[in-house]
Structure 1
Amino acid sequence: MTTFETSMPTVVLALSNLIATNPEVVSDLIKAAGQSARGRVAGVARWLGGLERY
């Protein structure tokens, strides 16, 4: 097993502890992930729009 595989349970445990103690942190993380995903989609749309002009 790699170091990543052996450390994974520790990461999952830490995340579940964080969720249990700070539910608002999780909602902030979800919001941040959604915003970055929207930004990427908008960036790709702009890039594709730019290609059509050439």
Structure 2
Amino acid sequence: MQPTAQDRMQAFMDREDLFDLVRRERFARDQRRFDVMSECFHKDAYVRTSWA
């Protein structure tokens, strides 16, 4: 069964939302805006990063 135009549009919008979230998190990290960065994660998320 082929996805409908509405299904394709919803998938596109979902991907854009995810990309926007990642961009916001990465920008906040680069700018040392940890308050903004933390808003990109679930409160119980375990995050491990490395700048090495």
So what's the TM-score if we normalise by structure 1?
0.53
Supply the AA of the counterpart residue of 1:31: F
1:24 alignment counterpart: 5
Question: C-alpha distance in 1, partners of 2:6/2:23?
Answer: 26
Q: Offset of 1:36 from its aligned partner?
A: 0.8
Q: Moved runs in structure 1, 4+ residues, more than 6 A?
A: none
Q: Offset of 1:28 from its aligned partner?
A: 0.2
Unaligned runs of 5+ in 1: 1-19
So what's the TM-score if we normalise by structure 2?
0.55
Unaligned runs of 5+ in 2: 34-52
Q: Offset of 1:34 from its aligned partner?
A: 0.3
- Greater C-alpha Rg: 1
Q: Which has the higher helix share?
A: 1
RCO higher in structure (CA 8 A, sep ≥6): 2
Matched, 1:45 2:12: no
Q: Percent identity of the aligned residues?
A: 3
Question: C-alpha distance in 1, partners of 2:21/2:7?
Answer: 21
Alignment root-mean-square deviation, CA: 2.1
Q: Offset of 1:27 from its aligned partner?
A: 0.3
